[in-house]
A and B are shown apart, each in its own frame.
Chain A
Amino acid sequence: METIELLILILKFVLFPGALFCIAYGWFLEWFDRKLYARFQNRIGPLLTGPKGVLQPFADFIKLLAKEDITPAGADKFGFTVTPLLTLVVSLFTLLFIPIASLSGILSLSGDLLLVLFISTVFGLLIMFAGYFSGNRFSIVGTERTGLQFVAYEIPFALSVISVALATRSLEIVNIVTYQVNTLKLPLIVIVPVAFIIYLISSLAKLEKIPFDVPEAETEIVAGWQVEYSGKKLAFFRLATDLKMVFVSGLAVALFLGGPYGPSIPGLEPVFYTIWFIIKTLVVMFILSNLRSLFARYRIDQVVRGFWKYLIPFAVLQILAVQLLIFLGVI
């Protein structure tokens, strides 16, 4: 019996809902994002690889793997090689905590919300290292900007998550999800709508998407921190970005949209939960793609000023509002 249980656990980690599912879903989200973005701009987007071009991100990945991998003479060789791998591993690791096929993630510990927040902070640090190690002038500027942007978005991001933790009086993702399912019987977005908006805006900055794609601003500093990366390393970075999209939208679903819970047939919960998870994350992605097609890129000083001037005060107000609701006994 024990060997079978172990086998199931391994399958969970590797196949579903672990690494392979997340990677495949990451590619699907990238395709969804690209297609939507293209449609908003009256373009067609990926078309030829697979039905409606759905395999395009996968094809891009394979193509990049086959490309020449150059390490520049001025780069720190060890750091330059390790950072892409580390970024990929870290983003896969965070996904283990996201509830996909059941109300809890594959891994679930008490206080795992803090752990997830901490690891997601490491994303920003790794990007800074990536730029710093490549020793290119454009990368250095990109690194500076990543650092500055990091200072801007990380605090409102954490504050929005904290207001959720306060409302559910829990630091465990599984408890937050079950609170929404069993106690509140409503997704938390009803209680903390402002926190949800702040979460979305800061995650746009976390994912480096327009209007906050300052660190890799193509027309200004070529590709910023990733300018020297090519071949396999670039492929890993891009895959990590896709996984980050799954993570950001998955965490949004878990914290604000009631997790993967939804109407289902008893006994078939994993299947239905996965479908609900996919639907809910696609809704989040739809909002994110929509936002990124609406704006021009901000300048880095405008990003930092905007986040500190508007988002942080609103996040604090949201926390106070949650406190008031708890005091009044509403939640």
Chain B
Amino acid sequence: MLEEEVEEKRVFKIPVGPQHPALKEFENFTFTVDGEKVIDVDFRIGYTHRGIEKLAESKTYIQNLYLCERICGICSGAHQGCYAQTVEELAGITAPPRGVYIRTLIWELERIHSHLLWLGVAAHEIGFDTLFMLIWRDREIVMDLLEMISGNRVNYAMNTIGGVRRDISDELKHKILKGLDILEERTKYYKEVCMKEQTILARAANVGILSKEKTLKLNAVGPTARASGVDVDIRRDDPYGAYDEVPFEVIVYDTCDVLARILVRVDETIQSILMSRWILENLPSGEIRTKFTRKIAENEVLGRVEAPRGELLYYIKSNGTDKPERLKVRTPTLANLLPVAEMLKGGYIADIPIVLAGIDPCFACMDRALFIDENSEKTWVWDKEQLRIYSIKWYKEHGKEVVRERWKQ
């Protein structure tokens, strides 16, 4: 009896989030720790819920392009491109080859920028601020390239239904090629740093292990799955855009740890640079977009792309008007959340940030509040306003208890 009490006292809970330096967005993870060891992980999602899916039902297909882009700040191109592509299939139109190539170029440049951003964040999480600063300096090159092409650094607004909105001139092509050369050289250097630097190896090798079986069972996607030896890539398995023509390799590592996740992303960045160069050199001539009629007959389509973080799913249902009946998004972070809980168990507190960052989480993408009633297996979706009313009501009833409990802890 007494021993049990002592046992209980040794174990205590550490909250990471909703606000924590290791998380760039709001999400709550509660870790049960014994000294430096993590015993259990519990997470609560939904802090960045914005009611986007509900909002999409009240906007036209064209307006939704810009709404979908704002689901995520980093993979905005993937979201918008996936949406545009899915609506094209819904309406039964095809974008002209030049438009598709430019769209694919944006996807690949975005992958470079997203992976370099992640690499910097990963370096910061293990306390290697010098690498963080240098990588982010070089990431500016690809940001500038994207700005030159689209006029924007983050939300490119390049895609439209039936193609893209801006063309790439020959002059611009040369500038992009020049920028890609510098990026390739720098990325290769960073790969060398990540493979040789002893402190990185000490912090990343054999940390946050996720076995191949668990990966398949928990349905991890993207670089997280590829770092655990699972050979999946939507670009190759279900080609979309120009990916059936662009030559590229799917990078797979099988050491299942954080180091593998780092190396997968560095190698993918190099692949993306090569792909971007190939696309620019083989850019077909012709129109960049086709006409699109505003109304779409009743239909439903499930579209998917390989976003920088993994498989991104869009389900759109049309009902004959110019607005979608239903828009459903499944982002890669949601798929990777259960695997990350598995990786964290049994590790050290010191490994929490790098392992959490290891899946390249993007919580704002993920939070679109789906409620599941465990007893009746009923599911329903709330928008922002309903949530707001609910939260006000709930806090009126329970507010005092919550505050008291927080103080107790």
Contacts and interface: CB of A to CB of B under 8 A. Distances in A.
A40 interface: yes
The 7 A-B pairs with the shortest beta carbon distances in the complex, nearest first, are A297-B127, A296-B128, A41-B133, A296-B199, A219-B353, A296-B126, A299-B350
Interface string B172-201: 000000000000000000000000010110
A215 to B, nearest CB: 11
Nearest to B198: A295
Interface string A84-126: 0000000000000000000000000000000000000000000
B276 to A, nearest CB: 25
A42 B133 contact: yes
Given A220-B349, A296-B202, A300-B348, 5 more contacts: A141-B349, A211-B127, A219-B125, A296-B199, A297-B199
Contacts of B375: none
Interface stretch (B14-22, B101-109, B217-225, B376-384): B14-22
Contacts, number: 86
A137 B406 CA distance: 13
Nearest to B200: A296
A294 interface: yes
A211 B123 CA distance: 13
Interface of A: 40-43, 73, 137-138, 140-141, 144-145, 210-211, 213-214, 217-222, 293-302
Contacts of A220: 22, 349-350, 352-353
Contacts of B21: 218-219, 222
Contact of B137 (A42, A218, A222, A300): A42
Contact of B134 (A42, A73, A297): A42
Contact of B202 (A138, A293, A299): A299
B353 A296 contact: no
B12 to A, nearest CB: 7
B73 interface: no
Interface string B90-102: 0000000000000
26 contacts: A40-B130, A73-B407, A137-B13, A138-B14, A141-B14, A144-B35, A211-B199, A213-B127, A217-B127, A217-B350, A219-B21, A219-B22, A219-B353, A220-B350, A220-B352, A220-B353, A221-B14, A222-B21, A293-B129, A294-B130, A296-B199, A296-B203, A297-B127, A298-B199, A298-B202, A299-B351
Contacts of A41: 129-130, 133-134
Nearest to A140: B12
A144 B133 contact: no
B244 interface: no
Contacts of B349: 141, 220-221
Nearest to B127: A297
A233 B70 CA distance: 42
B281 interface: no
Contacts of B350: 214, 217, 220, 297, 299-300
Interface string B12-53: 111100001110000000000101100000000000000000
Nearest to A302: B202
Interface residues of B, number: 34
A325 B278 CA distance: 67
A138 B15 CA distance: 9
B330 interface: no
Contacts of B15: 137
Contact of B348 (A211, A213, A294, A299): A299
Contacts of B128: 210, 295-297
A113 B337 CA distance: 55
A41 B134 CA distance: 6
A296 B125 CA distance: 9
Contact of B36 (A294, A297, A300): A300
A310 to B, nearest CB: 12
Contacts of B200: 296
A13 B351 CA distance: 46
Nearest to B131: A296
Given A219-B22, A296-B203, A301 B127 contact: no
B391 to A, nearest CB: 26
Given A73-B407, A217-B350, A295-B199, A222 B20 contact: yes
B165 interface: no
A40 B130 CA distance: 7
B35 A219 contact: no
A297 B124 CA distance: 9
Interface in B132-148: 133-134, 137
B407 A219 contact: no
Contacts of B127: 210-211, 213, 217-219, 296-297
A219 B203 contact: no
Nearest to A213: B127
A141 B33 CA distance: 10
Contacts of B203: 296-299
Contacts of B351: 299
B148 to A, nearest CB: 23
Nearest to A212: B127
Nearest to A74: B407
Which residue of B33, B127, B202 has the most chain A CB atoms within 10 A of its CB atom?
A: B127
B130 A301 contact: no
Contacts of B134: 41-42
B130 A297 contact: no
B258 to A, nearest CB: 12
Contacts of A300: 36, 348, 350
A317 B134 CA distance: 39
Contacts of B197: 295-296
A210 B407 contact: no
A222 B14 CA distance: 11
A221 B348 CA distance: 12
Nearest to B122: A296
A116 B142 CA distance: 53
B129 A210 contact: yes
Contacts of B22: 219-220
